[in-house]
Every structure is written in C-alpha cells, then in structure tokens.
Structure 1
Amino acid sequence: MTKALALDESQYGVRVNCISPGNIWTPLWEELAASTPDPRATVLEGTLAQPMGRMGQPAEVGAAAVFLASGATFCTGMDLFLTGGAELGYGRKASPGTPVDIPPSHW
C-alpha cells in the first residue's frame, strides 16, 4: 500500500513512507508479558529476538517518524524497519556474549 500510494501521490509532491516497528518496549508489551505464566522469560525471549540484545524504545520510533517527516525529503515508498534486526532470521538472534538489556519489570 505504501508503494502504491507513493506512486499515486508523487505527482502532487506528496511523499508516502511507513514505519514497521518490531519489539518496542511499551505498556502493551509489558501487559502481554504480565499475562504469561513467566513474564520475565517472555521479556527475555522478546529481547533475545533482536541481534542488538535489547528492545526498541518509543523515542526511537518517534525519531524515525521525525526523520521521515522532515529529513527524508527524497524518500518515498519506503518501509523503515525498526526491529533491531529481528527480521534477519528466525529464533534467537543475540549472539552469546551480547550484552542484554532487559527492561525493568513491574511484576
């Protein structure tokens, strides 16, 4: 849809891009984890799904949106993946020895 809209609207000088976030530490993620039998293990698995060994932060999504809205003036039809590399394969991505930053729990 992003690419189709970008093609359609470019004639009017309108840029169309999208952001595809992965595991971003939000209240929704925390609620999901809290609803599982072992919330800490759920958060750990979500964290280890990123090669960077951490979940993204809402401010990082906001920074990407600001970039697309103001700085990316020659970008259109773009899907910006904010996933910490999670889409690069299956299962755990963090290498042994990668420092892991698990969000603080409230359970």
Structure 2
Amino acid sequence: MNYSFEGKVAVITGGTSGIGLETGRQLLSQGAKVTLIGSQEEKGKMALQELASFEEQVCFIRGDIRKASQCQEVIDKAVALFGGLDIVINSAGIYMEKLIGEVTEDEFDNMMNVNIKGTYFICKYALPHLRQRGGGAIVNLSSDAGINGNSLCTTYCASKGAVTTFTKALSLESIHYGIRANCVCPGDVDTPMLQQQLAGVDNPQEYLRDMSSIYPIGRIGEAHEIANVICFLASDQASFVNGAVWSVDGGLTSC
C-alpha cells in the first residue's frame, strides 16, 4: 500500500544500509524529505548514489549516535536542512553473539551505546521539533530478541529489550503532544549486517538453512518487508496505533 508523505520530513538513523536505507527509499518514493544518519562517510555517499533519483529530497549527515551531544547535533542539522521534523526512525543497531562469560565491558558498553543510548537521545532531541509541528511519529527498531531471549545473545537481548520497553514508556509521554511512538521487532533479515554475520562462519549456506528452518514461514525476511511496516506506522493510516510492539518475524515469536 502507498502512503502519502508529501510535506513530511523524516530522519533515519542507520539509514545508509539495510532496513534503514530501504525505509528511506520508500519514504522518498512517497514524497517525504529524508535525512540519513550514519557513522561512515563512505557509506553515506554510496547511499546517496543509490537514491540519486531523489536528489532534491535526501541528504546524509555523519554522526556518532553513541554520544548524546552528536544525537542533538544531527537532529538540529537535519531540521535546519529541511525546515522541520515529522518522522523519526531509529534503525541504527549492531549485533553480537557471545557467551556472557566472554563479553567484555567495552563490548557491553558499545552494544548499549549504539542500540539503546543512541535511540534514547535521538528521541529526546527530536521531541521538541516534533512538538513544533503539532505531532509526528517515532518508530524504533527492536528485534525478536527484544521480546524473547535468544541463545548466545545476552548483550544484544538486553539492548533490544530496553528499546522495546523504552518505546512503550515513551509512547505514554509523547502522545500528549500528538506524537505516536511504536517499535518494530524483526526476526533475521537479509541485510549487510546478516552478511557480515555469515562471513564469520565456516559454512554460510548451511548456517543460513539452519537459521531459516526455525521460522514457521520457512525463510528469513527481506528489508522491504520490514520497511513496509515501518512506513505504515509512520503514516497517518496508523493514527490509532501507539505504544505497539509489532513482530515482523514470520511467526518466530509465536513458537
């Protein structure tokens, strides 16, 4: 389904690849102006090249969302570029599999800083701008691991569980200003993050088959399938959806 985002301005963290980039593409194709936030200049340039047909509607800002001051800086820059803010998509995230006994403090801190601290402070600094527009939509990317515990993923599960409950709490606070906050919880999705994960195993094809076999639907997800749900939640069609935790996981968390 197509939604009209004409006149809307969106910010997407983690917007230079995977789900974030695909969400940006869909928002742009439906009329939005979009700022992609990412930590790597080269990936930003590549994303802009991929979205070259929307040149007048899209820009890239480099920022490290692990630092609250940079969260404020990228939000302020994005607002200055396009004159306001209506939609915030927090898609930036990192993944790690490790036994808890092997996780270092630096690894724990980095996971939390990217997955929850960045999400938290992007929302904090976006809220005043959303209020100025009379309302808006926030969609945070959690995970099936933000609902159920996964093996070898204590750190990742802790970070994504925090995103899930943070979003529900934020929704109660922000709705008083006409701002809806929801989160999307994908299962495994074919993205560069997954390809990086596969590169670290001995038999990627067998690993992927095993991964797919635990899904009732019989496969992992595609980025556009997650972006479809994000765009719905960001649209006016979801005007009565607030504080929701949307599983987009082929039935995984129903098992």
Give your verdict on TM over 0.5.
yes
Correspondence for 1:67 among 205, 216, 232:
232
Using structure 1 for the length normalisation, give the TM-score: 0.78
Q: Which residue of 2 aligns with 1:84?
A: 250
Q: Give the superposition deviation at 1:74.
A: 0.4
Root-mean-square deviation (CA, aligned residues, Å) is 1.0
Correspondence for 2:213 among 44, 48, 56:
48
Q: Which residue of 2 aligns with 1:24?
A: 189
Given residue 51 of structure 1, which amino acid in structure 2 is its aligned partner? P
**2:170 is aligned with 1:5:** yes
Indicate the structure with greater strand content.
2
**2:211 is aligned with 1:37:** no
Runs (4+) of structure 1 moved beyond 3 Å?
Answer: none
Gaps of at least 5 residues in structure 2 are 1-165
Given residue 234 of structure 2, which amino acid in structure 1 is its aligned partner? A
Q: Which residue of 1 aligns with 2:42?
A: none
More moved, 37-46 vs 26-35: 26-35
Which structure's relative contact order is higher, taking Cα pairs within 8 Å and 6+ residues apart? 1
Q: Give the superposition deviation at 1:56.
A: 0.6
The percent identity for this pair of structures is: 34
- Counterpart-to-counterpart distance in 1, 2:192 and 2:175: 36
- Counterpart-to-counterpart distance in 1, 2:223 and 2:241: 22
Using structure 2 for the length normalisation, give the TM-score: 0.34
Q: Give the superposition deviation at 1:55.
A: 0.9
Gaps of at least 5 residues in structure 1 are 90-107
Indicate the structure with greater helix content.
2
